[in-house]
Structure 1
Amino acid sequence: MQEASESFTNGVDWSNSAEPTSHCWLPYSSETSSTSRLCACILCKNRKSTSDFPLIQCATCLLIVHATHLSELEESTTTDHHRIPPCRPSFVDNNIADNVDMHDQHYWSHVSTLSTPCTYCKRKSSDGLVCMWCSRSYHRQCWENIKDNEENSKCDYGKFSNIIVRPQWLRRVDDSPFGFRAQMPAYVEINDTSLTPVIFFINKLSGGQKGQEIYRMLVRILNPRQVFFLENDSTITRALNIYASLTNTHICICGGDGTVGWVLSHLVDTFPALKNPPASILPLGTGNDLSRVLCWGYQYASGQLLKTLSQIPHAHPTILDRWRIHIETLETNSSNDESLNRHRSFFSFIDQPKFIQNADQPMYENHHTPINMFFFNYISFGLDAAVVLDFHARRTRDSSKFTSPLKNKLMFIKESRKYFNEFAFGIAWNLGSYIRLICDDQDMTESIRHCHSLVLLNTRGFGAGTHPWGGTSVNTVPSQTIDHSDDDSSNHDVTQSTINHFEAQNFGDEKVEVLGLNTMQMALIHIGFRGTRIAQCRQVRIELSHPMPAHMDGEAFYLARSTAINITHAGQVMVLRNDNR
């Protein structure tokens, strides 16, 4: 994160003026810090915070200073920069010789009282030293007694040593467009799989808006230069460019389904086929369907972060398909309308569903284009997408009301009540009146004449943890969930032979599952039942004769005119499945 301010760089400084011991400055918050609210600048005359002189804090070493002191240092003509103590090093300059002995040293922070027992004498009392990498603590005198021992002087980086990007692995270079490049030094075995440095991407707005809290925790225990706030595409491009040459790198995406898809698409487009750093997930969204499928959890909980950090190096790499949507304007004529209208039920003259009637709603104006043109998990059309779109539009207008997963789910239920008539009188309408479905060049429109939502699945997860396709998946770790895969809750007959000709779901087989849901099935899938299976295919064409809401990997949008959507396979990406959860 790098956000220019008048007096300081907010977050990690990636500019040409950055120093190896530069701080990671963030606004001071008493809620996120247990340290004293006193400025640490040596020359400060008023060390407390005031409205005119607010405090800022380094998220890495927890040092607190007034923001004005940083601008004073920049304007100073002297070379005295010791008014503010340096932070622990996060990289090395390219003009420094690669001296093995100078690396992996403890970096001490002086504390008034040890919070954990001294590593040497096992007592906690009195002041001492704490290493800002490995977190080991010593009394001053205890450290003096053992510091000359070479084994003690070397830092092993503590509990998360295998995922930390060590400072000597990251250098400032002249031949990189971003000024930095990460690479294992020559003395590290290239096949050493015990080292799995992890690069983190965090969406601070996902789900319960826990991103800020997680960012502060990660830059405290890891190298702050391996943690990135997702601001735009260039943030991802810069991070992948810097770390592309670092051996055995892994990725961790902290966000919801939309955030995960955003980063995964960059991995597909940046690296050769299936050569990308495999990606894990820390679920911060509301549904978190892909996180559930890959066994990283259904939502973020306090204490989960440290557990996830320890699980990433042991997760199992697996292949995940990506699918592209191509949207084109559809020329309609009266014969097409008649062909579609013949599928309307007897009651369809009563009304059309609200999401088709109210195509000109102002709330839809900013959601006419999908944020992404790819999906990894699912895309759906119809009633379920209408509810998600209304929820998404309201969250965009007033994000302050969406501050936790629980609040988000309550707001989702509130939005769904707007469609009471569509749910209660589902017999009065169906998607066959508005959609033409073509799977692998076969017209399957007749299959959706009793359906109110059309769903295309790449993985088995949909709608915050449901499995509407049913059955087993070759990618699934055995779970404790109930699966009524042999039950058919549809309101028309499906023969057993039709059910059995489908293959087990596999999100790496370059096939997408197509299914329909009626209003009853939309409820029953939450207790283990499945929808109406239609096809497993390699390409799909969906022709919309009327405006239609769509929901794709956590992001909703509204197709306001007659449109054709062509869905085709668009590459694969390596992801991490957490078999040990």
Structure 2
Amino acid sequence: MWKAITKSGLQHLAPPPPTPGAPCGEPEQPFRSTVDWSESAAYGEHIWFETNVSGDFCYVGEQYCVARMLPKSAPRRKCAACKIVVHTPCIAQLEKINFRCKPSFRESGSRNVREPTFVRHHWVHRRRQDGKCRHCGKGFQQKFAFHSKEVVAISCSWCKQAYHSKVSCFTLQQIEEPCSLGAHAAVVIPPTWILRARRPQNTLKASKKKKRASFKRRSSKKGPEEGRWRPFIIRPTPSPLMKPLLVFVNPKSGGNQGAKIIQSFLWYLNPRQVFDLSQGGPREALEMYRKVHNLRILACGGDGTVGWILSTLDQLRLKPPPPVAILPLGTGNDLARTLNWGGGYTDEPVSKILSHVEEGNVVQLDRWDLRAEPNPEAGPEDRDDGATDRLPLDVFNNYFSLGFDAHVTLEFHESREANPEKFNSRFRNKMFYAGTAFSDFLMGSSKDLAKHIRVVCDGVDLTPKIQDLKPQCIVFLNIPRYCAGTMPWGHPGEHHDFEPQRHDDGYLEVIGFTMTSLAALQVGGHGERLTQCREVLLTTAKAIPVQVDGEPCKLSASRIRIALRNQATMVQKAKRRSTAPLHNDQQPVPEQLRIQVSRVSMHDYEALHYDKEQLKEASVPLGTVVVPGDSDLELCRAHIERLQQEPDGAGAKSPMCHQLSSKWCFLDATTASRFYRIDRAQEHLNYVTEIAQDEIYILDPELLGASARPDLPTPTSPLPASPCSPTPGSLQGDTALPQASHLRVDGQIFCAGEELIEAAKRNDFCKLQELHRAGGDLMHRDQHSRTLLHHAVSTGSKEVVRYLLDHAPPEILDAVEESGETCLHQAAALGQRTICHYIVEAGASLMKTDQQGDTPRQRAEKAQDTELAAYLENRQHYQMIQREDQETAV
């Protein structure tokens, strides 16, 4: 196939040999990890990120790779836009073989810029590929193998179509055909819309000055976006079917989650529609794309990130304002919960998120003005040296509050500013909040709040009512959610004396909290409902902590006026039917569904979520539920939780190791290439038939791994018959003795531990299985603290290793011998790649160190097995990410 493509003259698919004498070191140009918007931007420039990908060879080809001549394993980089992996020293070779990334813009030339153009495919060779060939429908080779260097597929990094790398599937005719931009073409901004402009060159200084003066006069009459020259021009081709998307990612939100997902957006979209907010904010991008019809925005971050983008839209006065969707990465995410985007991003595929943004409903959101001025009636004794006269924000979307909650947020904010490295995950942030709140409660810093404030709502003075209540916190609420998902106004239907709460009705809800109601808030309670109003005049007589949408400060004695500012246009995640439901769309939805429920442990989910079939096999049957055919997951949850309370219910007698924990969640098993978790706040948006076919899967983080499955054999449950099982009569007496380390075989009692070790050393699988059936302890250790797994690894016995991993307790994975080595250390030092794969996928820790301080990856490096070291480094990085996700989910 390489030769066939070479004959076609398509150099970017078949790299020619590098120029003799080419440099082997670092390329001269610095590596870019962001899109270049300057006039010197290179056409088809890659966007590089460091990577630990293993098993994927350098894209320049082994015969052209300069890194293989280096004494140590060279670092690798991966292009986020086309997903090729290259050794860092080999990046210069890409330029020599003329392989460029997918072009994100078009050059201005002599052709008419209004001339209709189309996007061509960007074909890339792949040594690994998911899915099936578009031509023959067969899958691609997917095997774990370090030695696989064959190109198995050719895929387009725009539309993601993939073909087998052979002439019968991929023909030369397909190279030049137009690209459809794939499943998300409606939200992708085509590179043909983005034109690089040429700066006008003038030779006469007088002419320059004259034009500059004329330009300055014209600029004074134009908006800020038209007053200066930009290297790039956006020339859209409007279409009612398109909803072009701008993605703004705050890489620091939610424990730096944004930095991890920005690469996924660069892959699915045009890199020039994805923006890192740490590189200058959203203003430049919004000005550039202001004339794009049907534009939508995806804000990836916390509620503060959303407020930043909305305020920028206010300043630019775009007509009409583009609607804003949310990918929640923050700590509270109350606005995201209100608009059905959930309480935090877990592991939903980016492809699904793009579909939700495209299909979401456009709604309105009230935004409120805040005007604060010093209170002239406050005396010098009421002033605080640490207080400020200005609010952190002059507009809010969620809430404005003062008192206890603002004081806790202020302490958190000051601590994070002083030690940012200690606040790098959503879980740690919430733990700090809880500790600060408890200490502030003991100090009682806000107990006299009512004595120092006056509140007038729509001309009605609420001060007497507030003084009777003696609240320690007052909240002026615009949306139903507050404080990471609680509902302080109460659930719908609970407040009969007031109008239903809405985020687009032009009213604020005013709520007071005592310490009792604040504590009850976390378990479904609510505060004291004071009023609903359109305007508030708040007067404080001393410095009091306040917060505006989570931005805290200590405000000196002030007069604060709150009034409606405008309404922002937002995207609300819609409830939708799957394109491939359980029942054919042309058939009526049945009145009832009888569906099997199976649960998955967190251990199995982390190890196997990329492989649907293996994860299904690892699941534990829980029972069968009967639900209405149009049930959403909220209703299904109630049926599943009742399943355990009904011993005579359908399927309730299926084996169970433990009761379901309170933290279980649904898994989507049908709408993506892998399993992923569904946020509990989004369960009402998903139908049962959307996430399941014949069986529904749930994730229980407190369920044990494969060793807890009742269908797997244990020392107290005999193994099924096997070819090497002992014949009847070969074992006499009890098979489960009071002391499992001693067995009675053929009338003789002997030490089973020594026999087990000898069986592992001799690679005698049948003997090991026989001893285990008789009650032998698979956790037995020798005098040097080596486990059976240590001995099996030392002899390279794959069969025995697999048996021990399947049947021994999970503790065997990280058990250490006298030198501090785990079995994974030993396998890595011996270069046993397949056994390393078995142990890693079983859940062994890759962070453990031996007495020399070496991890398994470092042991592989010392053994000069660079490919194995790269694999272990990749899995170590993945394990760290999954551990943080697990902490977040908990």
With structure 1 as the length reference, what TM-score do the two structures score?
Answer: 0.78
**Which residue identity does 1:409 align to in structure 2?**
K
Confirm or deny that 1:436 pairs with 2:436: no
8 Å CA contact 2:322, 2:569 repeated in 1: yes
Confirm or deny that 1:284 pairs with 2:329: yes
Counterpart for residue 22 of structure 1: 45
| 472, 476, 479: which one aligns with 1:459 | 479
| Structure 1 Cα separation of the partners of residues 392 and 69 of structure 2 | 45
Percent identity of equivalent pairs: 31
| Structure 2 Cα separation of the partners of residues 113 and 517 of structure 1 | 57
Structure 1 residue 422 displacement after superposition:
4.8
Confirm or deny that 1:320 pairs with 2:373: no
Confirm or deny that 1:184 pairs with 2:236: yes
| Structure 2 Cα separation of the partners of residues 60 and 379 of structure 1 | 41
8 Å CA contact 2:392, 2:548 repeated in 1: no
**Which residue identity does 1:297 align to in structure 2?**
G
8 Å CA contact 1:40, 1:84 repeated in 2: no
Instruction: Rate the CA distance shift 1:307–1:82 in 2: closer, same or farther, 3 A.
Output: same
Matches within 5 A, 1:167-178: 167-173=191-197, 177-178=229-230
Counterpart for residue 273 of structure 2: 226
Counterpart for residue 117 of structure 1: 132
| 439, 442, 454: which one aligns with 1:418 | 439
Structure 1 residue 536 displacement after superposition:
2.2
Structure 1 residue 368 displacement after superposition:
8.0
SS in 1 for 2:173: coil
Structure 1 residue 102 displacement after superposition:
5.5
Structure 1 residue 239 displacement after superposition:
0.8
* Deviation larger for 277-286 or 444-453: 444-453
Counterpart for residue 344 of structure 1: none
Q: Which has the larger radius of gyration?
A: 2
Confirm or deny that 1:401 pairs with 2:422: yes
Confirm or deny that 1:235 pairs with 2:249: no
Counterpart for residue 574 of structure 2: 579
Matches within 5 A, 1:496-511: 500=497, 502-511=498-507
| Structure 1 Cα separation of the partners of residues 104 and 159 of structure 2 | 14
Structure 1 residue 6 displacement after superposition:
8.0
Structure 1 residue 48 displacement after superposition:
7.9
Instruction: Rate the CA distance shift 1:156–1:46 in 2: closer, same or farther, 3 A.
Output: same
**Which residue identity does 1:530 align to in structure 2?**
H
Deviations 1:251-275 (A, max 9, x none): 00001111111111112222356x2
Structure 1 residue 67 displacement after superposition:
6.7
| 291, 294, 300: which one aligns with 1:248 | 294
Higher relative contact order (CA 8 A, sep 6+): 1
8 Å CA contact 2:328, 2:343 repeated in 1: yes
Instruction: Rate the CA distance shift 1:98–1:325 in 2: closer, same or farther, 3 A.
Output: same
Counterpart for residue 270 of structure 1: 316
SS in 2 for 1:394: helix
Structure 1 residue 211 displacement after superposition:
0.7
Counterpart for residue 588 of structure 2: none
| 150, 153, 161: which one aligns with 1:136 | 161
Matches within 5 A, 1:155-170: 155-170=179-194
Structure 1 residue 52 displacement after superposition:
13
Deviations 1:530-564 (A, max 9, x none): 222223222222222222111221222222x2222
Matches within 5 A, 1:370-389: 370-389=391-410
8 Å CA contact 1:471, 1:504 repeated in 2: no
Unaligned runs of 5+ in 2: 1-27, 142-149, 199-225, 576-684, 686-890
Structure 1 residue 506 displacement after superposition:
2.6
* Deviation larger for 157-166 or 504-513: 504-513
* Deviation larger for 61-70 or 238-247: 61-70
Counterpart for residue 198 of structure 1: 245
SS in 2 for 1:566: strand
8 Å CA contact 2:164, 2:170 repeated in 1: no
| Structure 2 Cα separation of the partners of residues 48 and 412 of structure 1 | 52
Instruction: Rate the CA distance shift 1:49–1:199 in 2: closer, same or farther, 3 A.
Output: farther
**Which residue identity does 1:310 align to in structure 2?**
S
Structure 1 residue 161 displacement after superposition:
1.8
Confirm or deny that 1:446 pairs with 2:446: no
Instruction: Rate the CA distance shift 1:145–1:533 in 2: closer, same or farther, 3 A.
Output: closer
| Structure 1 Cα separation of the partners of residues 118 and 420 of structure 2 | 45
Give the RMSD, CA atoms, in angstroms. 3.4
Structure 1 residue 405 displacement after superposition:
2.2
8 Å CA contact 1:40, 1:64 repeated in 2: no
| Structure 2 Cα separation of the partners of residues 84 and 213 of structure 1 | 29
Instruction: Rate the CA distance shift 1:170–1:546 in 2: closer, same or farther, 3 A.
Output: same
| Structure 2 Cα separation of the partners of residues 82 and 455 of structure 1 | 63
| Structure 2 Cα separation of the partners of residues 335 and 220 of structure 1 | 59
Instruction: Rate the CA distance shift 1:518–1:114 in 2: closer, same or farther, 3 A.
Output: closer
Structure 1 residue 372 displacement after superposition:
2.8
Deviations 1:56-101 (A, max 9, x none): 442212345677888x89xxxxxx9535621101111233546988
Unaligned runs of 5+ in 1: 74-79, 338-355, 473-482, 487-498
Structure 1 residue 22 displacement after superposition:
1.8
Instruction: Rate the CA distance shift 1:69–1:124 in 2: closer, same or farther, 3 A.
Output: closer
SS in 1 for 2:437: helix
